[in-house]
Amino acid sequence: MNFAIVMNVIKSKNPFQLMNFITRTAAIMLSAACALGAMATAPADEQHEALVKDHKLIFFGEGETPQSDSIRNLVENFYYDQFRSFQDPQAPYFLFMSRDSQLAMGIGGMVRMRGYFDWGGTTGTPGFSPYFIPTQRDELNRQRIGSSPAGTALFFRVIGRNKRLGDYQLYIEANFNGYQTRDFHLKKAYATINDWTIGYASSTFGDGAAVPPTIDASGPTMKMDGTNVLVRYMHHFRKSGIYVAASVETPDMTVQEDGTSTAARSQFMPNIAAMVQYEWLTGQHIRLSAITRFLPYRDMINSRNHQKVGWGLQFSTVFRPVDPLTVYATVNGGRSYSNFGGDFLLGKYDLVANPEKPGQLNTVPGWGYFAGLQYNFTPQVFMSATFGQGRYLPHHGTAAGSDYKYGLYGAVNLFWYLTPRISFGAEANFGERMNFDGTHGWGHRVGALAQFSF
């Protein structure tokens, strides 16, 4: 594909031309996939197979070295996670394993460096989020170059099998996403015993596997990728390929309070999330997720306490119609559900002021979607394209016309795995922010990635 053509399309301020470009790109990728559809093994599976074999095993304890099947089954457990996303680290290179194959421990990490160049509408952030695109020309920030080590991580995982407890797993991950993307902070910390998970983990409402690959850390707008302290029950009906899960999760909210007519109250009810998933092959599924949130506030004018209820539904899928092509799609909607990711997370959209009735806060309806295609030219080289949108739909209007109405997000990228654990990539992003008063702005970015895992 001619890079100059790609850049000219991205510079365009016509959304129909951008959509046409995505459609034509998808058609080219689909045609190529059909031509190679007779391949015996999917390239994505070959890439996974190469990664599974790329481990240094250190055995401890007495006895003989376990059989290769037992070793492989234990290694595969490092990749088994129904809430895993493309951005998550791979299984560690160094694995300590007991000779009876009942315990494995891995300590690993990832060095991830991103560089980017913005023009036309710089977001001022390492992540490319339409919410931050300026709607008025800023002569001081027309272009911006930046880099970030965000996503560089260290993690520790233990997987074992106990006669009394059954299967169990411990996981701790910390990365550099804090102040100026350099502070080290906890990202996940949880324990799983059979069907139960307790700790700081990905919300049951999310589906990381259905998010297309991007170099941009923010990813598609309206990506639900929240992490909470939770207690989750998830069961796999192996014969049918069905997963069911439900969780109670620590709540959080952002409210348009002014301290005079309205004020946020302490939350005292947990979020409740659930999902049901059908998986017909490893890495290919459809999922329906739901969440309920309890959002309390106080009407200072009438001296009354209130509690609103927010809710969200999400349908997501990832599948391969032919071996080289992977399809990703997510649609979500509801009322005040989006505190788990996407553009709405960046503002105060859980409870918003009613300009017609001072002292009243309301939940707000909204919806979003994104879709992506990934085409593997070889097991080591693939291209992907993503397009998405998020919309904010208050019933009573907004206090200011400059409030966010919707955002568009697009990405086209190319990844190359030099080895199973060393990868490089390049990406072009475009996005638009539209306000209620009709003012809008477009943002453009090109970025690059170098990633090393161990």
Q: Sign of torsion, CA 48 223 278 315?
A: negative
The pTM score is 0.83
For the chain, the domains span 3-453
Q: In angstroms, rounded to a whole number, what is the distance separating the alpha carbons of residues 337 and 311?
A: 5
Residues 267-288 as b or e (16 or more Cβ within 10 Å = b) = beebbbbbbebebeeebbbbbe
pLDDT tens digit sequence for 141-191: 788 898 888 888 899 888 888 888 888 889 999 887 754 556 778 889 999
Structure tokens at 429: 């992003």
Q: Does domain 3-453 have CATH number 2.40.160.10?
A: yes
What is the structure's pLDDT at 17?
Answer: 53
What is the structure's pLDDT at 414?
Answer: 96
What is the structure's pLDDT at 180?
Answer: 55
Cα distances from 282 to residues 85, 181, 335, in angstroms, run 14, 34, 33
For the chain, list residues with pLDDT below 50.
1-7, 9-16, 18-19, 21-23, 25-26, 28-40, 179
186-187-189 Cα angle (round to 5): 80
Q: Phi first, then psi: what are they for 94, rounded to 5°?
A: -95, 120
What is the structure's pLDDT at 178?
Answer: 53
What is the structure's pLDDT at 34?
Answer: 46
**Structural contact between residues 153 and 109, judged by C-beta atoms closer than 8 angstroms:** yes
